[in-house]
Amino acid sequence: METSSQKPPYTHAHVFETAIRLLVTLLLVVWCIGIIYPFVSPVLWGAIIAITIHPLFLKIRNMAGGRNLLAGVIITLLLLVLVIIPCLWLLGSFLDGVQNFATDLREHTLAIPPPNAKVSGWPIIGKPIHDAWLLASQNLESLVTNYREPLARLGTKLLNSLAGFGKNFLLFLLSLIISGIFLVKAEPSGAFTRKFAMRLAGDRGQDIVAIAGQTVKNVAKGILGVAFIQSILAGMVFAFAGVPFAGIWALLVLMLAIIQVPTAVVMIPVIIYLYSVRDPLSATLWTVLMVLISLSDNVLKPVLMGKGAPVPVLVIFLGAIGGFIFSGFVGLFTGAIILSVGYTLLFQWLEGPAGK
């Protein structure tokens, strides 16, 4: 006898209706993703910045009498000033350098000191560098003529890079504003994140959120923080040492330090220049400072990245570098987070009942 608890059999109409619902749901999800896709990068950076500076936000909120909105406005304006002023300095230094170079080149007043004879003795690269440098010091127009095509390609790449930098700079300013909004809504944002993580991973959701937050802070301090410190110190040394286009060299130090390329790539040409135009003693003193700045990341990075880290520093570092290669600057954080979470889940699985 058929009981009332038995479910009716599926019919073609039921299957068709279910397929329509799934299709409409998928269409809605894809549509929503398409709408918010242009804002994914600023929102991600805003969340990263908000997590990184949340302790500072709490201190400012306490001084502001517990008012979230006032503290959010103050810290957002502070961040905008801290970012805009150095960028304007770098941009002004770059434009002044380009303008002076163009003027000297046009008026035939550009003077390039001849290379030291020791340059030609460097392995592999010494002879071509010495010849090009000597030609530039004797007849710059001949150098431009001989290397016209490489210089033209370099100029095109530089202009494209500047255009891309301007766009990314505006997006980063937007990210700072978004980070202020996240900070003002820190409690509801944190509750939503924890609820979403627990919905996906159950009881492990809390641990995943904690790992992600701590990893973001460690990467921000250990990679971006160290890169910023190195670029500022290097820029000061370049400026006080009288190195031309100090702002450009400092910007290159920042970019190379972020992508984990040794800053010696920038320091070595500057050191060569100083030994060519200055007396050996002063050039050596500036060289010592630049070497210390270049090596400082070996001390600062492990300390800052390892402080309070829920996983080994090597995992965070490999995740950051691999993430950068895979998805650009934001991959510094997403890569470190994903690898840290994966590492934690792997060890939890190994320590579970099946691993005993």
Question: What are the residue ranges spanned by the domains of the chain?
Answer: 41-184, 202-348
Calculate ∠ Cα 234-236-238, nearest 5°. 65
pLDDT > 90: percent of the chain: 1
Read off the pLDDT of each residue in 208-228 and give the average, rounded to a whole number: 78
Q: List Cβ neighbours of 210 (8 Å cut-off, separation of 6 or more).
A: 310
pLDDT for 309: 62
In the three-class reduction of DSSP (H, G, I as helix; E, B as strand; rest coil), residue 154 is classed as helix
180 in Cβ contact with 73 (< 8 Å): yes
Token pair belonging to 18: 């279910």
Please state the separation of Cα 327 from the chain's center in Å.
Answer: 12
Round to whole Å and give the CA distance between 249 and 274: 14
Residue 118 has what pLDDT?
62
State the chain's mean pLDDT as an integer. 76
3-state secondary structure of 44: helix
Q: What pLDDT shows up at residue 8?
A: 56
pLDDT score, position 65: 84
Per-residue confidence at 27, pLDDT binned at 50, 70, 90? very high
**Can you give the pLDDT at residue 178?**
87
Contact 247, 87 (CB under 8 A): no
User: Is 70 exceeded by the pLDDT of residue 125?
Assistant: no
Q: Which residue has the tokens 């630049």?
A: 290
Report residue 96: phi and psi, to 5°: -65, -40
Instruction: Tell me: pLDDT of 163 over 70.
Output: no
Instruction: Decide if pLDDT at 345 tops 80.
Output: no
pLDDT band at 111 (very low <50, low <70, confident <90, very high): low
Predicted confidence at residue 326, as pLDDT, reads 78
Q: How far apart are CA 171 and CA 195, in angstroms?
A: 29
pLDDT exceeds 60 at position 255: yes
Check pLDDT > 60 for residue 4: no
- Is the CA virtual torsion 261, 262, 265, 266 positive or negative? positive
Question: Is residue 351 exposed (0-12), middle (13-18) or buried (19+ Cβ within 10 Å)?
Answer: exposed
CB 167 within 8 A of CB 159: no
Confidence tier at 155 by pLDDT (50, 70, 90): low
Q: Are 322 and 334 in contact (CB under 8 A)?
A: no
Q: Among 11-20, 47-56, 125-134, which is the least confidently predicted range?
A: 125-134
Report the run of H or E that residue 355 belongs to, with start and end.
Answer: none
How many angstroms separate the CA atoms of 256 and 297, rounded?
12
| Long-range contact pairs involving 288-297 (C-beta distance under 8 Å, separation at least 24) | 289/237, 290/234, 290/237, 291/267, 293/230, 293/233, 293/234, 293/237, 293/263, 293/267, 294/230, 294/262, 294/263, 294/264, 294/267, 296/226, 296/229, 296/230, 296/233, 297/226, 297/230, 297/257, 297/263
Cβ contact 111:101 at 8 Å: no
Q: How far is CA 206 from the centre of its chain?
A: 27
pLDDT band at 1 (very low <50, low <70, confident <90, very high): very low
Of 198, 176, 222, 178, nearest to 333 by C-alpha is 222
Q: Which of 41-50, 159-168, 273-282 has the lowest mean pLDDT?
A: 159-168
Q: 75 pLDDT exceeds 50? A: yes
Q: How confident is the model at residue 356 (pLDDT cuts 50, 70, 90)?
A: very low
* Alpha-carbon distance values, 247 to 22, 235, 236 (Å): 55, 6, 9
Do 57 and 71 form a contact (C-beta atoms < 8 A)?
A: yes
Shortest CA distance to 213 belongs to which of 56, 51, 53?
51
| Cα dist from 197 to 71, 192, 203, 210, 333, whole Å | 28, 9, 9, 11, 18
pLDDT category at 161 given cuts 50, 70, 90 is: low
Q: Kindly tell me if the per-residue pLDDT of 136 is higher than 60.
A: yes
Residue 169 has pLDDT above 80, yes or no: no
pLDDT, residue 355, reads 43
Shortest CA distance to 343 belongs to which of 309, 305, 315, 317? 315
283-310 pLDDT tens trace: 888 888 888 888 887 777 777 776 666 6
Average pLDDT, stretch 184-204?
Answer: 79
Reported as a pLDDT band with limits 50, 70 and 90, residue 321 is confident
